[in-house]
Amino acid sequence: MPSVLLKYVMAVTGAIMLLYLVLHMIGNLKIFLGAAALDDYSAWLRTMLEPAVPRTGALWIIRVVLTVSVVAHIVSAIVLARRARAARPVRYTHRQPVQGSYAARTMRWGGVIIALFVVYHLLDLTAGTLNPNGVHGAVYDNVAADFAPSHWYATLIYVIAVIAVGFHVRHGLWSGLQTFGRSSAATQNALKGFALVFAVVLTVGFLSVPLAVTFGLV
């Protein structure tokens, strides 16, 4: 597949995952409305689109779309990275660090951190295997147990992963906007500014939940 098409694949799949993150963050923030609001929202997700689709059918559609998007995103990133290295077969003996190489390293290691965290997050708050409470449907209690002060390491893991997501979103959104539109010197700063603000809002939104639980605000 041509590199330009792979870039579009990364942009489209990135947009799908970004939409999911925004909706997921909004759902998480229901914890500030109380246990009933969060648990009712979780129950609604399992009955969404009934009776047009079976119970939990919509959730499984979302999971399949996300899984396909994640795999396509990762594969495209790997192929593009390998092609970039192949185009420069002789490594420089010395080069000054540049913004592009810093962004590439951030995206690469951030992607690894995020992938590992997704596995942990699924086992923790989705399957309940690693959750101290682990009661199916008791979302509020599971979250409260997960980020309790005595379970501080889970909060730390979450904070590190969300910050990695923020860096990934900031650069990925900026890159995706350039892929879909024409980039010029006049729009560069505007796109970077929008991507930065978006990433900060998303990061703060996700971090507000575990930190609020840890510090007893909910």
Residues 45-99 have pLDDT tens digits of 999 999 999 999 999 999 999 999 999 999 998 898 888 888 876 555 544 444 5
The pLDDT of residue 109 is 79
The pLDDT of residue 188 is 80
The pLDDT of residue 110 is 81
Nearest to 190 by CA among 166, 173, 165, 167: 173
First and final CA of the chain: distance in angstroms?
A: 50
**Rounded Cα–Cα distance for residues 9 and 176 (Å):** 10
Enter the pTM of the model: 0.88
Nearest to 117 by CA among 159, 81, 78: 159
- Contact indicator for 177, 193 with CB cutoff of 8 Å: no
The pLDDT of residue 184 is 67
The pLDDT of residue 174 is 86
Q: Quick one: CA torsion of 113, 119, 121, 122, rounded to 10 degrees?
A: 160
The pLDDT of residue 25 is 97
Task: List average pLDDT for each run of 10 residues in the chain, which is 218 residues long.
Answer: 89 94 97 96 94 94 96 92 78 50 66 90 93 94 97 95 93 83 72 92 98 95
